[in-house]
Amino acid sequence: MLSTHMAEGFCVLELLDGPQGPLSDYRYIFSNDACLRHTGHDKQMGQTVRELIPDEADAWVPRFAEVLRTGQSTHFEQRLKISDRLLTISAHRLGRASDRRVAVLFTGVPASQQARDLLYEQAEKRMDRAETNSRLLGELVDHSLANVFAADCSLRLVAINRTARETFERLHGISPKVGDHVRAILAGQPQIMEKFQPLWPRVIAGESFIEMVSIGPPDAPRHYEMRYNPLRDAEGQICGGYLFAYDITSRVLEQERLSQAEEALRQSQKMEAIGQLTGGIAHDFNNLLGGIVGALELADKRMTQGRQQDSRHMLGIARQNTSRATALVQRLLAFARQQALVPQPVDVHHLVADMHDLIHSSLDRHIEYVDATLAGQWLVRVDPSQLEGTLLNLCINARDAMAQGGTLRISSANCQMDASQAATLQLPAGQYLHIQVEDSGCGMTQEISARAAEPFFTTKPLGQGTGLGLSMAYGFVRQSAGQLSIDSSPGLGTCIHLYLPRVRPGSAPEADDTEQMIKPSSAGQSLILLVEDQPTLRLVIREVLEEHGFQVQDFEDGHKALRALAEGTRPSLLVVDIGLPGDIDGYQVANACWAIDEHVPTLFITGYDGAIDNSRISGSPTIALLHKPFELTLLTSRVEELLIAARSRPAQGLERGDWTSTPAGD
């Protein structure tokens, strides 16, 4: 037969009813040799498909059953799994449907054609995916919260999303579109042009970078994080650049609110500590005042008795106690003052020594205080007032833990940490100053010490603590690139360890030489305008200045001083109290004096400097500040220094109105 020599496979099938239902199986009643080769069977005739390939029968039977029922020939490709061959198949009904016979002609698809077909199929799927992804990406970008711009190398927009168009129109009244030039859409916004014009050339040159930009009115700006990246073609060549601009205004405002809250917490913690200090400060201050009063009474008595040498000794004691009281008040005011943090090199030994009176005042009488810090140790870069507040709060915590008395010890040591030591403290290896605040109090359990640095966590009764002291200390130390750890056991006391990174030697704190007395000036005819409302102090200042050869005109308030200036008084130097009574303060007197002669040197005096801008006072060699109470030698030294500075070079006088009138104390 011809079919025996055909390259194509040929077989005749008889459709059968079976357990699976009508026409659910078929038997081979004829098959040629090519059919056996293509299907991989040794024998087919007389056997059913469910006997030969039971796992694949359901894939083949329905196709041939459909041909039998409809009489419609069919052509299809299908893989025969048992031989792993892809077959091209044509099936035709033989005779009537009742004969139940179907002729099948098929051939194998060559491997090369299969590869081509597979390649075409994969390419088509990739194109469909790419089109879908591109459409999806376009929709995502267009609906993104980011403002997206893309421009070619000539800075013409090639893409812009809906968010960017809406934002630009809201801010600038222009709706940019593809094809617009970047400079053209910014032409009516010179301030915006100034910010953005230098940025696009950088990205076209191949630079990727992030810029933070504020746009809009100063009282309500919008803040944006601008992410620039170059745009490259398929060969990797730069063909433009794109910008993703994110509106981070809410994040910036939230950060500002957080900073304000942190500052308020810091200040409230200071106030809590000051409340703890009040009783001790009053006790120490009364002791100092008692010493001053007693020494002055004895000095008066010795002078009446003609014992001049003894009276001089008593006056020296009064002066010493006055200096100690002044230092105590100044330390308290410095601690309480709300001011910006200014990290600087700090000698911890000197700082702790200067805090002696404050710490001693915060402790009960039955607590022994030991300062074991050592001179000459490494400096640390911190804000000194913050470190003082941290140490003072730790001392107050230690005091509360020693209700029955004990010992408080502050010590320090240089510490060289290798990588393994530093890793246990989550610090980089390096050099640190190790400060310890140790008490012999009740101690803490491991569970309590693990939570001790959490904000608002406290074991004290309601109203006796906010639970912020240790958490603020921890925050300060971490912000200073250091670490805080707690070592405590019940009944064995507590040791707080502070590790602060060493600052390399450069500019160590300079010694204060203000107490060196300068000899009386040879310019005996210099006129000093003195404005001070406290009569006794005004009298003392006038006497000592006249004793040094100066002419002095003194006034008790700003109105009288301004009247003297208007009438022609031209002072060589102005000494003025900041907190004058009435509606004219020391700043306004100084402004009036500088309006006449901007080179007049000025010495401000005050008992409270909460309203002072120290950066302005320190900005000119002919402007200085003196805190009350002060030694008279220091007053005359300052006056001489200002006059010398005025003669050596003109003062950089502040323009009228530079000082804002603010209430200030004496």
Residue-wise pLDDT for 492-534, tens only, equals 999 999 999 998 755 444 434 333 333 444 445 789 999 998 8
Domain that holds residue 374: 342-511
Residue 541 identity (one-letter amino acid) = I
In this predicted structure, what is the pLDDT of residue 358? 77
Find the CATH number of the domain harbouring 371. Answer: 3.30.565.10
For residues 536 and 628, membership in a common domain is answered with yes
Q: Is 588 helix (H, G, I), strand (E, B) or coil?
A: helix
Q: Would 660 be classed as within a structural domain?
A: no
Q: Does the N-terminal peptide bond of residue 629 adopt cis geometry, omega within 30 degrees of 0? A: yes
d(CA 7, CA 376): 103
For residues 483 and 347, membership in a common domain is answered with yes
d(CA 42, CA 106): 18
Q: Which segments in the chain show pLDDT lower than 70?
A: 1-5, 109-144, 262-288, 291, 324, 327-342, 452-469, 471-472, 505-524, 608-619, 649-666
In this predicted structure, what is the pLDDT of residue 610? 56
Tell me, rounded to whole angstroms, the distance of Cα 381 from its chain centroid.
18
Name the phi and psi angles at 458, rounded to 5: -150, 150
Rounded to 10°, the helix 384-400/308-336 angle is 90
Q: What DSSP assignment string belongs to 105-140? A: EEEEPPHHHHHHHHHHHHHHHHHHHHHHHHHHHHHH
| Cα–Cα nearest to 238, from 130, 150, 177 | 150
Q: Would 137 be classed as within a structural domain?
A: no
d(CA 474, CA 425): 13
- Looking up tokens 């007032």 gives 385
d(CA 447, CA 468): 18
Per the CB < 8 A criterion, the answer to whether 60 and 76 are in contact is: no
428: tokens are 């980089």
Residues in the chain: 666
d(CA 608, CA 616): 17
d(CA 273, CA 393): 6
Pairing mode, strands 344-346 and 380-382? antiparallel
Tell me, rounded to whole angstroms, the distance of Cα 170 from its chain centroid.
30
Find the CATH number of the domain harbouring 39. Answer: 3.30.450.20
Q: Would 572 be classed as within a structural domain?
A: yes
Q: Which residues does 159 contact at the CB level (< 8 Å), separation at least 6?
A: 148, 149, 150, 178, 242
For residues 407 and 531, membership in a common domain is answered with no
For residues 373 and 481, membership in a common domain is answered with yes
Per the CB < 8 A criterion, the answer to whether 7 and 42 are in contact is: no
Name the phi and psi angles at 347, rounded to 5: -90, 110
For residues 358 and 468, membership in a common domain is answered with yes
In this predicted structure, what is the pLDDT of residue 108? 77
Pairing mode, strands 483-489 and 406-417? unpaired
d(CA 503, CA 508): 10
Per the CB < 8 A criterion, the answer to whether 480 and 502 are in contact is: no
For residues 371 and 409, membership in a common domain is answered with yes
In this predicted structure, what is the pLDDT of residue 129? 63
In this predicted structure, what is the pLDDT of residue 278? 56
First and final C-alpha spacing in the chain:
129
Q: Would 417 be classed as within a structural domain?
A: yes
For residues 174 and 235, membership in a common domain is answered with yes
Helices and strands in the chain, H and E counts = 21, 22
d(CA 438, CA 401): 11
Q: Would 503 be classed as within a structural domain?
A: yes
The per-residue pLDDT for range 102-142, each reduced to its tens digit, is: 999 888 766 555 555 566 666 566 665 655 555 555 555 66
Q: Would 276 be classed as within a structural domain?
A: yes
For residues 11 and 37, membership in a common domain is answered with yes
For residues 199 and 289, membership in a common domain is answered with no
Per the CB < 8 A criterion, the answer to whether 653 and 598 are in contact is: yes
For residues 377 and 493, membership in a common domain is answered with yes
Tell me, rounded to whole angstroms, the distance of Cα 378 from its chain centroid.
27
d(CA 527, CA 510): 33
d(CA 453, CA 536): 50
In this predicted structure, what is the pLDDT of residue 616? 53
E strand or H helix at 247: strand 238-247
For residues 353 and 330, membership in a common domain is answered with no
* Longest distance between any two alpha carbons in the chain, whole Å: 159
Q: Count up the domains in the chain and report the number.
A: 5
The stretches of 480-585 forming alpha helices (DSSP H) are 535-547, 558-566
Per the CB < 8 A criterion, the answer to whether 53 and 44 are in contact is: no
Name the phi and psi angles at 498, rounded to 5: -115, 125
In this predicted structure, what is the pLDDT of residue 665? 47
Per the CB < 8 A criterion, the answer to whether 292 and 322 are in contact is: yes
Q: Would 127 be classed as within a structural domain?
A: no
d(CA 494, CA 592): 58
pTM of the model: 0.39
Per the CB < 8 A criterion, the answer to whether 482 and 383 are in contact is: no
E strand or H helix at 368: strand 367-372
What are 414's strand-pairing partners? 433
Radius of gyration of the chain (CA): 46
Q: Which residues does 448 contact at the CB level (< 8 Å), separation at least 6?
A: 459
Q: Would 299 be classed as within a structural domain?
A: yes
Q: Which of 458, 479, 511 is the last residue of a domain?
A: 511
Half-sphere exposure of 34 (CA within 13 A, CB side): 16
For residues 357 and 321, membership in a common domain is answered with no
